[in-house]
Structure 1
Amino acid sequence: MIALIVLGQNKIIAQKAIKDVRPNIIIIMADDLDSRQISCYGGQNLKTTNIDALAKEGLRFTNIYTSEAMCVPTRASLFTGLYPARHGAFQNHKSVNDTLKSVGHYLTDVGYRVGLTGKDHVTKPKSVFPFDIINGFEPECVSPTDDYQLEDVKKYIKLDTKPYCLFVMSINPHAPWTIGDTTEFNPAKLQLPKEWVDTPMTRRQYVKYLAEVRRLDNQVGDITKLLKETGQDKNTIVIFMGEQGAQFPGGKWNLWDAGQKSSMLIKWPGRVKSSSVTDAIVQYEDISPTLIDIAGGTPIPGLDGKSFLPVVLAKSKTARQYAYGIHNNIPAGDAYPIRSIRDDRYKLILNLSSEKPYFNKALMNGEDKNKKTVWSSWLIKADKNQEAKRLTERFVNRPPVEFYDTLNDPSEFSNLAADPAHQDKIKELKKELLEWMQQQKDKGAEMDIGYSKNP
C-alpha cells in the first residue's frame, strides 16, 4: 500500500504506509466440549497435545463460564458482550435483537478485519454480525463430516493491510459424533464423569464423543502450524475456548458446572507468561470487551461484559465477583426455567418450575426404555441399582433451591440449601441474582415460552 505525501506545491513523494503492528487475534472455539476432558484441565481419557501446547505457552483460565449452556445464546453473548435476556437469543435457535451491534462492528471501527470460518449459525442478521465469512471449516454443526481446508484461511490472514481477528469455529465435538477415529479408545478403560450412570451404551457413545475431541485437537494443531508457516506466530494472539458442556444428561442445557463451566487458553507471545494459570472469574460476555481493549479501542457503553485484559497481562488477579446463569428449556423440551449465580466458591441455583419433572427431548425419551439411547440405558439400570436411581432422580426431579460448595463438591452432589451454616451466603447470592435479573429485565419463568422466531 502506498501513501502520497505532499511537500510544498509541486513536490510529491511516495512512501510505504506504516504497517499496523497491533497483534492479530485468532479465536478457536469448540462446540459442546466437556472441558474436563482436555488433558491440561485434568482429563485422563486422551492427551490433547495441541490444546495443551497453548496452555504451556500461555495462560489457562480455571473459572470461565457460559451464562447459558447452549450454542446460540453462548455465541451471541460472545459476539455482543450482552447477557441472553438483553441480546434476545435467550433460547437455543432464537434470533438476537436485530438492532444490536457486535464485535464485528467494534473491531472494524478500530481498524481490524473481522472474519469467521466454520460454524456460522449465529452470524445472522448480517447487520448485527458483519463478519467476513471465510471458506475452510464446516459451517453446519450437525454435519456427518467436518472436512476442512486452510487455503482460504491462509489467504485471509496473509492480507497485511490491517490486523485481523479471525474466529475459527469448529463443529467438534457436537453430536451426531460421526467424525474421528474411535479405535484409539477402549470403552472399558474410560473414566466417566461422576454424575453419569455407567452403562455399555454410555461408554459406546462416549468413545464417539472423544474421537471428535481428538479431531478438535488436531484442528488446533493445524491452525497453530499455519501461523508458524506464514511467520505470523510471533504477533498473533491465539485464544482457545471450549463453549458449553457435552450433550449428555447433566451437561449442555443445564446450569450445573458440567454444562456451564468452560475452558479458555490465551497465548500471547512476549506478553503472557508461559504455563500461567488464573482463577479469575470471567464469562463469555467479557470476551468482546477484552478484544476491544486489546485492539486499543475504548469501552463500549452499555455492554454487560467488561475487559479482563488486566488479568491477561498479570496486572490483576480478579475480573468480576460473580458469574450468572440463565436457562430456558423451550424449544429443546418442556418449559423448565433455571437461574444461577456463583462466586469463587459457592453456587446458587433456582429451579423456577421445580414442581414438575425436567424433560429435554434432545437428551431424553421420557420413560420409554426401549429406545437405544444413553438415557434409556440409565433408566434400565436405575430399576436395579440404587446409585443409578439416585443419578437419574437428580436429573429429573430438582428442588426449588440448590446450593453447592464447589470447592469441596465439584460434582454438585451435596445440596446445602437447608444447612443453617450457609443461610447468610444463600441470602447474599439470592439477593445478587434477583437484582441481576431485574437489571436484565429477565422475567424468569415467563420467558420460557414459545416464540415465533424459533424454527
Structure 2
Amino acid sequence: MKNKILFTAALTTCYALSVSAQQSKKPNVLFFIADDLARNELGCYGGENVKTPHIDRFAKEGVRFNRMFSSTTMCAPTRASIYTGLYPVHNGVYKNHGDTKPEVKSIVHYFQEMGYRVGLTGKTHFRPRSVYNFEMIEGFEPNCVKRTADYTFNGISGFMKRDDKQPFCLVVCSTLPHAPWTVGDPAQFEPEKLKLPPHFVDNAETREALCKYLAEVAALDQQFGDVLETLEKTGKEKETLVIFSGEQGPQFPGGKWTSWDYGQKSAFIIKSPEGYLNGKTTEAVVQYEDVLPTLIDYAGGKIPKEMEGESFLPVLKGKKSGHRKWAYGVHNNVPEGTPYPIRSIRNDSYKLIVNLTPEASYFEKHLMNPNKEGYWDTWVRDAKSNDVAKKWVDRYVTRPEIELYDTEKDPWELTNLASDQKMKPIIDRMKKELFNWMKQQGDTGKALDVETGE
C-alpha cells in the first residue's frame, strides 16, 4: 500500500512538473511580411479581383485588424518601424534606403535576450547588420527586383525544428507583389472585368498593369499557404503565434510613397495558439511601431521604456476594444523623387494630411519617369481629353496644404473637407497634436526631405 502511495505521488509530481514546463515554455513566433500589398485585393478585406484562399482561411481562423497603419509607406522605413518599435525619425529611417541609428536595438536583440533563436528568410532592406543581426535562413528570394517564383522550405523547416527546448522567432519576407510584376500568370484575369480603385484612370494600360499585379498577389497567397503547411509539418503549429502582414500599399498612384490610406492601411492578421479572439475582427487603431512591444509582451518580456510603440496585447486578448487615440504618418520623398515632405495624423474617424510644400508638384521617379514606358504616361495622355482622368492626375501631382477626410464615410479619401468651415475645430485640434508630436520627435519637416548626395 505504501509503495502504491509513493508511486501515485511520483506520478502526480511528474505530471505537475510536465504541466509547469509546458506553461513556462515560451511560444514561437512566425511573422510573414508581404511586399507592397494592396490589402483591398484580399478576399478577407473585401477584394473581388483575385482569389486568395490561404490568406482568407487564415483570417477566418485568426484576428483580422481593420485599422493597422504604416507610418511611412516605403519598404525600409516600414520594416525599421516593425523591427525597432520606434518612429521613423527616432530610429533614423525616415527616408527609403536609410540607415538605422547604430545604437538602436531591434527585434533580434530583444528576442535573443528572452532566449529565442531569431531568423529571417527573404527580403532584408535594412542596415546596418549590427542592428539587424538575424540568422539568415535560405529559402526565399532576398532581392525584390531580381524576380523569380522559386522558394524552398528546407532551411525554414530546419530552423523551426532545430531545438525543441529553445523557442524561435522567424520572419519570412516575401518579395511579392513588389514591382516589377513578373511572377504568376496575368492571363488568368480578364482585364475588362476587374474592379479598379475609384481614383484610377480607367484605360487598357492600367487594367493590363493591374492584371500583372494581381498575378503576384495570387502567387503570394500560395507562398503563404506553403509556409503554413511547413509549420504544420514541423508539429509546432499549436505552440506558434503566426502573423500575416501586408507592409504598405502598392506601387500604384495613391499607394506607396504617399500618405493616403491606399498606401498606409495594411493587411494585418494574427492567429494565436491560445485562440485569442480567433475568428474575430477588430477596429482598434494600431500602427507598425506597436508590433514589437506587443510581441515582447506576449512572450512574457519587459517592454523597454525607450520603445515608442504600445502593446496591443489587451486588444488581442479581447480585454480592450480600442488602442491608439492617434496614429501618425511621415513621408519624405527623397531619394524616390523630388523633395515633397508630408505629415499625417488620424484617429478612428478622421485623417489629416499636411503637405509641407504645396507649392511644388509631386514627382516620384519609379511611376512618373518620362523616359520609362508605363501606364502613368497613359494617364497624362488621357488627362488631355478626359476630365475624369485629369481629375485623378491633378489629385496626384498638385496637392493642397491641408487635406481632411472622414475615413468612415469616405474610405477612399476622395472628398477633401478642409474648406468646410464646420471642420475647422477638428483641423485645428489635429494640427496641434501633429505638430506637438513632430516637435517631440525632433522632426524638422521640410529640412528632412532634401538631397543628401547619397
TM-score range, shorter chain: over 0.9
The residue aligned with 2:310 is 306
The residue aligned with 2:405 is 404
The residue aligned with 1:136 is 139
In the alignment, structure 1 residue 353 sits paired with structure 2 residue 357? yes
Between the aligned partners of 1:374 and 1:182, the Cα distance in structure 2 is 16
Between the aligned partners of 1:273 and 1:338, the Cα distance in structure 2 is 36
Matches within 5 A, 1:374-389: 374-389=375-390
Deviation at 1:125, TM superposition (A): 1.8
Which has the higher mean CA deviation after the structures are superposed, 243-252 or 17-26?
17-26
Matches within 5 A, 1:30-69: 30-69=34-73
In the alignment, structure 1 residue 185 sits paired with structure 2 residue 186? no
The residue aligned with 1:5 is none
1:201 aligned to which of 189, 201, 205: 205
1:149 aligned to which of 142, 148, 152: 152
- Give aligned-pair identity as a percent: 49
The residue aligned with 2:424 is 423
Which amino acid in 2 is paired with 1:411?
W
Between the aligned partners of 2:276 and 2:144, the Cα distance in structure 1 is 32
Deviation at 1:89, TM superposition (A): 1.1
The residue aligned with 2:438 is 437
The residue aligned with 1:9 is none
TM-superposition CA deviations, 1:28-62 (whole Å, max 9, x none): 01000011101000000012101111111010000
Answer whether contact 2:277 2:316 (CA < 8 A) is retained. no
Between the aligned partners of 2:167 and 2:199, the Cα distance in structure 1 is 44
Q: Report the CA distance shift for 1:383/1:311 in structure 2 as closer, same or farther (over 3 A).
A: same
TM-superposition CA deviations, 1:380-404 (whole Å, max 9, x none): 1111111110010010000000011
TM-superposition CA deviations, 1:167-219 (whole Å, max 9, x none): 00000000000111222211111111111101111111111110110111001
Answer whether contact 1:137 1:146 (CA < 8 A) is retained. no
TM-superposition CA deviations, 1:319-339 (whole Å, max 9, x none): 111110000000111000000
| SS class of match (2:266) | coil
Answer whether contact 2:340 2:362 (CA < 8 A) is retained. yes
In the alignment, structure 1 residue 279 sits paired with structure 2 residue 280? no
Q: Which structure is higher in helix share?
A: 2
Between the aligned partners of 1:50 and 1:235, the Cα distance in structure 2 is 20
Which amino acid in 2 is paired with 1:449?
V
In the alignment, structure 1 residue 324 sits paired with structure 2 residue 328? yes
Deviation at 1:161, TM superposition (A): 2.8
Deviation at 1:18, TM superposition (A): 5.3
Between the aligned partners of 1:126 and 1:143, the Cα distance in structure 2 is 21
The residue aligned with 1:89 is 93
In the alignment, structure 1 residue 176 sits paired with structure 2 residue 188? no
In the alignment, structure 1 residue 166 sits paired with structure 2 residue 136? no
Between the aligned partners of 1:273 and 1:57, the Cα distance in structure 2 is 9
Answer whether contact 2:67 2:285 (CA < 8 A) is retained. yes
Deviation at 1:146, TM superposition (A): 3.5
| SS class of match (1:62) | strand
Deviation at 1:269, TM superposition (A): 2.7
Which amino acid in 2 is paired with 1:158?
K
Which amino acid in 2 is paired with 1:346?
Y
Between the aligned partners of 1:315 and 1:112, the Cα distance in structure 2 is 27
The residue aligned with 1:8 is none
| SS class of match (2:367) | coil
Between the aligned partners of 1:415 and 1:221, the Cα distance in structure 2 is 40
| SS class of match (1:105) | helix
Q: TM-score, normalised by structure 2?
A: 0.93
Q: TM-score, normalised by structure 1?
A: 0.93
Deviation at 1:21, TM superposition (A): 2.3
Which amino acid in 1 is paired with 2:210?
Y
Answer whether contact 1:57 1:273 (CA < 8 A) is retained. no
Between the aligned partners of 2:88 and 2:325, the Cα distance in structure 1 is 19
Between the aligned partners of 2:278 and 2:93, the Cα distance in structure 1 is 37
Which amino acid in 1 is paired with 2:133?
P
TM-superposition CA deviations, 1:201-257 (whole Å, max 9, x none): 111111111011011100110011112111111111110000111001111000000
1:121 aligned to which of 122, 125, 135: 125
Deviation at 1:270, TM superposition (A): 3.0
| SS class of match (2:396) | helix
TM-superposition CA deviations, 1:266-306 (whole Å, max 9, x none): 01133323320000011110111011011110111111101
Deviation at 1:126, TM superposition (A): 2.2
Between the aligned partners of 2:275 and 2:318, the Cα distance in structure 1 is 9
Between the aligned partners of 2:105 and 2:351, the Cα distance in structure 1 is 32
Deviation at 1:421, TM superposition (A): 1.2
Between the aligned partners of 1:274 and 1:46, the Cα distance in structure 2 is 24
Give every structure 1 segment of 4 or more consecutive aligned residues whose post-TM-superposition deviation is greater than 3 Å: 15-20
Q: RMSD in angstroms over aligned alpha carbons?
A: 1.5
The residue aligned with 1:23 is 27
Between the aligned partners of 1:216 and 1:313, the Cα distance in structure 2 is 29
Count of residue correspondences: 435
The residue aligned with 1:372 is 373
Between the aligned partners of 1:430 and 1:133, the Cα distance in structure 2 is 43
Which amino acid in 1 is paired with 2:214?
L
Answer whether contact 2:75 2:125 (CA < 8 A) is retained. no
